[in-house]
Amino acid sequence: MYTQLEQRGMSEPPINVATLRNMKEEGVAIACLTAYDASFAQLVDLAGVDLVLVGDSLGMVIQGHDTTVPVTVDDVIYHTRSVARGLRHAFLVSDMPFMSYTDPSQALDNAVRLMQEGGAMMIKLEGGADQVEIVKYLARHDIPVCAHLGLKPQSVHKIGGFKVQGRDPKHAARMIEAAKQLQDVGADIVLLECVPNELGEAVTKALAVPVIGIGAGPAVDGQILVLYDILGITLGRTPRFVRNFMTGHDAPLDAVREYVKAVRDRQYPAPEHCFS
Ligand code: KIV
């Protein structure tokens, strides 16, 4: 048993949910990135990234759409399969696309597809208190879940743009409550996007599970960014929380290594990447 780890020539076991939880307990910042293909997956894995997300951001950075809304389950499975082949150490999470989790049974069917056909180790879905029943159902079937709160890009047409969330104290309090409820019904990770530092810190303190932030300030348990943003590939205006790590480097591997170090040392995010 477990010989597969030796066959993969690994000096240490791959990251899993328990590793991530220990990192939170020990105060070791978790470095996460998106990836969509095997070559970049291999590169970010080698650079020491702990968690790789096949995000539905692939709809924007790979497929050229303006939003993540057109991405399908088949698209995510295709990219997850490719990424899974490139990883040896990092934990692999895949996004449940828009409208792929409208009820518990549909959510379970699609989560199982992402895991069995794609090779995902955890699925991520967007939503707050309204997703409690779905997360509970998935957790009851032992599907590892990451709950994405704050700015929910799949709701961009409803929100009216990519905007900072939770500035209003009532909205912030609701988000903290939703995060606790999602943890209590079985979410293993919470991802917080585009919220003020203070709210990032409050959610992190309120939860035992790791909180990964993107534009959620320095107090969260880990950081995630879109790979193409940190490599300076994304043209035009990028969000405030993005830092181009290619600056001063010739090779993407060195840039990703610097990203991992900056997250671990809590040098990223700096005040200019944060919201108040
Ligand atoms: O789809 C994605 O890449 C994401 C990250 C931005 C967190 O959800």
What pLDDT is recorded for position 160? 86
What pLDDT is recorded for position 4? 55
- 138: its two tokens: 């998935």
Distance 4 CA to ligand 1 centre (A): 30
Q: Whose CA is nearest to atom 5 of ligand 1?
A: 55
Domains of the chain (ranges; CATH) run 3-273 (3.20.20.60)
The model carries a pTM of 0.96
Tell me the pLDDT tens digit for each residue of 64-107.
Answer: 999 999 999 999 999 999 999 999 999 999 999 999 999 999 99
Which atom, in ligand 1's list, is nearest to the CA of 193? 7
Note whether 219 and 271 are within 8 A (CB).
no
By most ligand atoms within 8 Å of CB, the mutation choice from 65, 68, 96 for ligand 1 is 68
pLDDT above 70 as % of the chain: 96
Residue 7 has pLDDT above 60, yes or no: no
pLDDT interval class at 130 (50, 70, 90): very high
Distance 95 CA to ligand 1 centre (A): 8
Ligand 1 interacting residues, C-beta cut-off 6 A: 34, 53, 55-57, 95, 191, 193, 214, 224, 226
Residue 154 has pLDDT above 70, yes or no: yes
Distance 142 CA to ligand 1 centre (A): 23
pLDDT interval class at 6 (50, 70, 90): low
Q: Whose CA is nearest to atom 8 of ligand 1?
A: 55
Q: Whose CA is nearest to atom 1 of ligand 1?
A: 55
Catalytic positions are 193
Which atom, in ligand 1's list, is nearest to the CA of 148? 8
Distance CA 14, CA 51 (A): 10
Which atom, in ligand 1's list, is nearest to the CA of 124? 8
What pLDDT is recorded for position 32? 98
